[in-house]
Amino acid sequence: MFGAIKGFFTDTERKSADGYEVLTGGALPTAAGVSVSPETAMRCSVSFACIKVIAETMGQLTPHLYRRKGDDRERATDHPLYALVTKAANDWTPASEFRLVLGTHLATHGNAFAFVNRDGEGRVVELIPLDPRAVSIRQDPRTMAPVYSVATGNPALPARDYDRSEILHIRGVGLDVHKGASPVTLGREAIGLSLTLEAHCAGLFGRGAKPSGILKVKGKKTPEALQRIRALFTRFYSGADAEHRTMMFDDDMDFTQIQLNSVDAQTLEMRRFQIEEVSRFWRVPLHLVNEMDRATHANAESMGQQFLTFCMLPILRSWCDALAITLLSPDERDSLYFEFLVDDLARADIAARFEAMSKAISSGILNPNEARAMENRPPYAGGETFMRPVNTAPAPTTGGAHGTA
């Protein structure tokens, strides 16, 4: 059976997926009893929050193309690629939306792809996002280079093959040589348990925020009468708004409530632990998914720095390298390179920021105009002068260990 499936998907079948995953489109069963796929993971509050914070951060940050000039550098605004990565990836996709889409794909599928459209002279004119579910990768047996097969969406047309120069590929961590593994697939047990707990809590509050009880009815009743009593009871005493309604019974009815069991009583603690467990797969700090129990004014900035250093910087490095190897020619890579501006993520409070800038200016690390540019303020005449403390001087090079006057 699986051999027939492989024939249907041709030689471009994903090698990392087993037959079940191919059959179900990526959804895999879990011990919690639910199947988890990138689509169902978007319905889990924790995994969606992790995916959203990574994707929106990618949309917020802008890659710039720089040109080396000796020991200095400048933005290569005259290069055609500069507008492509900073303004619009194509005629219908702004650059920020392009990064948002590919950031979402990378955080869910572990891979992000875009078709690189070139003109007759080989210059890049468009970047078009691709559905990662339609892209498969195999290795050319002769050159060992990756070959990308993109499904056309038409069963009558075969998949089309592209080489690395035609596909922008940002990959995540994975055991496959040319393809990253999906964090959703790797963390499906944690996500599945979180989905089960959410459904359990929804059902608990749907029953008036308390478990079922026993409604005792004296005397022998017909099935129709019992059904009518149950429907009447459910209509008045189900739902979260029925929490404090007054129950009314006739003489031959009595209700006994069943107390919360240990699982129900610990549901909140279990859900809090699942927030931590799921967040580990994306390395997103808890305060960014609105788990604020351990966040304080003292450590919030430090956790934000950890998010930049350990979560986003590896992703940004993958983006820069993929952009360079796909969009730039070998000769251009000697003088041109991509780099993301992360100043907004690393920005501290205004008092600490201005104090640091003041020290940098007085020490000659920055001049006033460079500091103003970091704050998006215009320069002023004379602001390009570097300062040096007047109470220091170069150390002498002769005259003993401590120098001479």
Which pLDDT belongs to residue 263? Answer: 58
What residues have CB less than 8 Å from 14, skipping those under 6 apart? 21, 22, 136, 179
Decide if pLDDT at 24 tops 60.
no
Rounded Cα distance, 36 and 270, in Å: 19
The answer for residues whose C-beta is within 8 angstroms of residue 78's C-beta and 6 or more apart is none
> What's the confidence (pLDDT) of residue 296?
66
Q: Is the pLDDT of residue 316 over 70?
A: yes
Strand 93-94 versus strand 72-75 pairing type: unpaired
H-assigned helices in 45-177: 45-60, 80-86, 95-109
Segment 241-251 mean pLDDT: 59
**Per-residue confidence (pLDDT) for residue 232, from 0 to 100:** 73
Assigned token pair, 264: 């129900």
**pLDDT value, residue 147:** 96
- Distance, C-alpha 15 to centroid of its chain: 24
Which one has a higher pLDDT value, 394 or 199?
A: 199
pLDDT score of 348: 61
Q: Is the pLDDT of residue 75 over 80?
A: yes
Length, in residues, of the chain: 405
pLDDT at 23 over 60: no
What is d(CA 58, CA 74) in angstroms, rounded to the nearest whole number?
A: 23
Burial classification of residue 106, based on how many CB atoms lie within 10 Å of its CB (0-12 exposed, 13-18 middle, 19 or more buried): buried
Query: What pairs with residue 123 in β-bridges?
Result: none
Q: Name the DSSP class of 247.
A: P
Average the pLDDT over 289-308 and give the result: 75
pLDDT at 184: 94
Radius of gyration of the chain (CA): 30
Q: Which has the minimum average pLDDT: 3-17, 37-51, 304-318, 321-335?
A: 3-17
- Report the share of the chain in percent with pLDDT over 70: 77
> Span 327-338, mean pLDDT?
94
Dihedral angle over CA of 41, 47, 48, 49, nearest 10? 180
CA distance 269 to 40: 23
Q: Buried b / exposed e across 130-153, counting CB within 10 Å, b at 16+? A: bebeebbbbeeeeeeebbbbbbee
Q: Is the pLDDT of residue 3 over 60?
A: no
> Global pTM?
0.74
Higher pLDDT, 11 or 392: 392
Q: What pLDDT, on a 0 to 100 scale, did the predictor assign at position 202?
A: 74
Max mean pLDDT range (67-76, 100-109, 257-266): 100-109
pLDDT at 189: 92
Over residues 155-168, the mean pLDDT reads 92
